[in-house]
Chains A and B, each alone.
Chain A
């Protein structure tokens, strides 16, 4: 058991698909309230890394610990750990046959065993947090991309997770819709949520990250405080990558 404020510990995580090594010995720890942002070219293992943390993809080697308890090789306990690790997907992945509020409720009832009334109250509370209470009875197809993503964030938050994983939360959105989603995530950061974020939004990454991690070819190539990006030699490759973004 850890006595410090470490929430998540990742040790030597490795994963190959066929002969392609997607993750090579990735290690890091996440402290309570910390926001780590992963950036880097497409196909360098960032999404795979997030999915290996909650075992949606089973890593070949390495360990993941949540509050000192091993998440890897958890057997049937994996469902318990997953309920404590919120995940937000690029394509929202809302349940199409359920209204927004049902989307948030369902896991509260089926995983946490809440009664319907209690779950409904909690779900509406979470929808309010992301500004979606007035769309509670809308189906996913009746929501804009930004609204759908906010509902999916509410769905993950409702489980009261210890850490939230964001897998390119704005990549599928029209540019004018990214703002509302990023604003919700900023609000979570201010409220002290612990988060791992994979994103291509450089400006957002720099403004929200406590630590910026640049991934390439399955490794964390460079890492550090975002304030050091402009000058520090530790961020040489990252600067080269980020240089393509005019707004830096």
Chain B
């Protein structure tokens, strides 16, 4: 019973601030992740040679390096060349790089799966390539990417805890501070874990509803 009182009276209020920061990290990262991911995917499929090369380099680089390393460079490394980012901004940037690189792969695969004839038909009607991509290809490709994008979103929820490594007190960080202060590692991290689990569950349900809502009759 003591433990329940601790959780309700002490732990939950103390975690609240961190929870809000975690939501902020996710909410700022995910939209840009999809947006940049889509742009990179389009660049890889439809871009000129140099654009294709740059888009591929982007994906290779951010997929191929540990996210934690990226955060260290953004936060601890960049000041030495005169760029000082707040811990929060450095984290969001790092997350966006990572998230968009993975998102772009799902979207690229979906773009490739759209029948070529629809692109041709758009051109034949007099639409510019950009218009065909925007109005014909991407709406379909993004729908097909939803399961993959949701996967990345779920990863993001969990790896957002890495921001603590560059001094952002988000959910995990807030938990760590409480746990250390009251020496309640089990209670604290159990609750923190449940919060992540709920976030993931809500996301999954939301994604399922979204998928149904935008489904195209087949």
| Chain A interface residues toward B at CB < 8 A | 54, 56, 79-87, 89, 91-97, 106-107, 110-111, 139, 141-142, 152, 155-156, 159
Contacts and interface: CB of A to CB of B under 8 A. Distances in A.
Contacts of A155: 121, 125
A79 B121 contact: no
Given A110-B127, A111-B126, A93 B217 contact: no
A155 B121 CA distance: 10
**Which interface class (under 10, 10 to 19, 20 to 34, 35 or more) fits B?**
20 to 34
A50 B203 CA distance: 49
B126 A96 contact: no
A95 B118 CA distance: 6
Contact of B120 (A56, A81, A83, A107): A56
B215 to A, nearest CB: 10
Contacts of A111: 125-127, 131
Nearest to B129: A79
20 contacts: A56-B124, A79-B126, A82-B125, A86-B124, A87-B121, A87-B124, A89-B121, A89-B124, A93-B115, A94-B121, A95-B118, A95-B140, A96-B140, A97-B216, A106-B135, A110-B131, A139-B216, A141-B217, A141-B218, A155-B125
B128 interface: yes
Contacts of A142: 217
A96 B216 contact: yes
A93 B121 contact: yes
B127 A107 contact: yes
Contacts of A141: 216-218
| 6 nearest A-B pairs in the assembled complex, by CB-CB distance | A83-B126, A93-B121, A93-B117, A107-B125, A87-B124, A82-B126
A152 B117 CA distance: 12
A83 B124 CA distance: 7
Interface string B112-151: 0001011011111111100100011001100100000000
Contacts of B127: 79, 107, 110-111
A54 B123 CA distance: 9
A152 B143 CA distance: 23
Contacts of B136: 95, 106
Interface in B173-199: none
A97 B139 contact: yes
A89 B126 contact: no
Contacts of A82: 123-126
B26 to A, nearest CB: 28
A54 B124 contact: yes
A81 B131 CA distance: 16
A98 to B, nearest CB: 8
Given A95-B121, A106-B136, 20 more contacts: A56-B120, A56-B124, A82-B124, A85-B124, A89-B121, A89-B124, A91-B115, A93-B115, A93-B117, A94-B118, A96-B115, A96-B140, A97-B139, A106-B125, A107-B122, A107-B126, A107-B127, A111-B127, A139-B216, A159-B125
A184 B39 CA distance: 41
Contacts of B135: 106, 110
A79 B129 CA distance: 10
B46 to A, nearest CB: 16
